[in-house]
Structure 1
Amino acid sequence: MIYRPRKLNPFVLILPLLFNSCVSLTKSDEIGFRTLFNGKNLNGWVGNTSSYRAEDGMIVVDPNGGGSGGNLFTKEEFSDFILRFEFRLTPGANNGLGIHAPLEGDAAYLGKEIQILDNSAEKYADLHPYQYHGSVYGIIPAQRGFLNTVGKWNQQEVYVNGSTIKVILNGTTILEGDFIDASKNGTLDNKDHPGLKRNKGHIGFLGHGDVVHFKNIRIKDLSTNK
């Protein structure tokens, strides 16, 4: 009998190479990042540690039917950074990501607030553009249409360097701009935002009375590399 070697599908040959390449890229992409949440407790965080709790590797904000849920901030302050995290919304959920924020006062004005919002909720159909998910509240509107279905996890990256900011949601850049330039002729909400001049502060989750889940919260401090 004549032996004829079996012809291999070239895709089968390159598949392991592609897989290994993806794994190495992923690992390389995380160099310099450290976790802000250990998955077990709220060590390293301050604020409302009763409405916010650690549960099954997540930070869960649950106002228990009353109040806003308050705010939960990092003990540390940050200036320039890349923040990565995952979040899962419940129907109609509203929260916020505070940056350069003080521990007291309204972070949306005394710092900056990046919206975390269920854009699909009917009750939010008539918001101002700067109020939808990913927007710098009152300052720069974000693109819509890139949130996963409510109940599914979303991945978000927030890049802050000086007065420039970029928000990447599920792999798509939904906001990129300079919040000083964007407000030089007045803010979109026509309100005073003294926090725009702050270049350092706490990072926090800003409760608005709804249940939201967060996990895999990590940061790369860019200030230390300058």
Structure 2
Amino acid sequence: MISFFYSCKKVEKSKPENWTPLFNGKDLTGWTAKINGYELGNNYNNTFRVENGALIVSYDSYDSFTNEFGHLFYETPFSNYKLRLEYRFVGEQVEGGESWAKKNSGIMIHCQSPESMLINQGFPISLEVQLLGGINENEPRPSGNLCTPGTHVIMNNELITEHCIQADCKTYYDEEWITVEVIVNNDSITHFIDGKSVISYSKPTIGGEFLDSTSEEVQAKEGQPLTGGYISLQSESHPIEFRNIEILELK
């Protein structure tokens, strides 16, 4: 006689995650530009705009790039969350851009408020999820790195004071859409590129390079932990497009 036993244990279904769009695909509602050399809200040369459902960084109105490093800030600060979006580099770098800025952009998290930036301040105090594209064949240029303008972090129980730390990620050479996700869980942060974890770090604090280019009020916060802040998208002289920008706040 063959007996069959069936478990009556109820299988719990995972709850759907309620992601919130930060970009409506139509205009820059909720976003404000801060471009080096210009007042907050001056979207110089229409650098940031929306076309075909994507938030794009364009330089077609520039004669040349002369340090107009820019950041497009979302209106709300966040602390614990998952952030994800898609990006792709397109076209050619504008004349005058730095060689290192070719196919180079970023997502800045834990930013100082845009109102606290000086007119002539190229980069906010923040943690940068650096986005890079390949330029020369067989020359590695991984995406998803960490750069630290005015910040320090802990990695493998050591204080990291380098400005940029390379991620464990492949190089993307073409103009395909790439998915990036950032998980901020209290004081631990991980970057993902196309679903792969590429770098992790923790306990960010204010300090180091770029701090001296900020206001005295911000400089006075040296050594303080960064437990949250604003999110911004970067413009560094190479055209880039973003879409499907959304966030899931964590408890």
- SS of the residue corresponding to residue 146 of structure 2 reads coil
**Higher fraction of strand:** 2
Q: Which residue of 101, 105, 108 maps to 1:98? A: 108
**Contact preservation (8 Å) 2:135, 2:173:** no
Q: CA deviation at 1:148?
A: 4.0
- Does residue 51 in structure 1 map to residue 47 in structure 2? yes
Q: CA deviation at 1:160?
A: 0.9
Aligned to 2:135: 121
TM-score by length of 1: 0.70
Q: CA deviation at 1:110?
A: 1.4
Aligned to 2:247: 219
Aligned to 2:81: 81
How do residues 1-226 of structure 1 correspond to structure 2 at under 5 angstroms?
Answer: 28=16, 31-48=17-34, 49=43, 50-64=46-60, 65=62, 66-67=64-65, 68=68, 70-90=70-90, 92-102=102-112, 103=114, 104=117, 110-118=125-133, 120-122=134-136, 133-137=143-147, 138=163, 140-145=165-170, 147-180=171-204, 191=209, 194=222, 197-222=225-250, 225=251
Which amino acid in the other structure matches residue 144 of structure 1?
C
Q: CA deviation at 1:115?
A: 0.5
Q: CA deviation at 1:108?
A: 5.7
Overall identity of the aligned pairs, in %: 26
Q: Aligned equivalents of 1:109 and 1:74: distance in 2?
A: 13
Which consecutive residues of structure 2, in runs of 5 or more, have no partner in the other structure? Answer: 1-12, 35-42, 93-101, 148-162, 212-221
**Contact preservation (8 Å) 2:71, 2:234:** yes
Query: Does 45-54 or 80-89 show the bigger shift?
Result: 45-54
Q: Aligned equivalents of 1:114 and 1:143: distance in 2?
A: 13
Q: CA 1:107 to 1:140, structure 2 compared with 1: closer, same or farther past 3 Å?
A: farther
**Higher fraction of helix:** 1
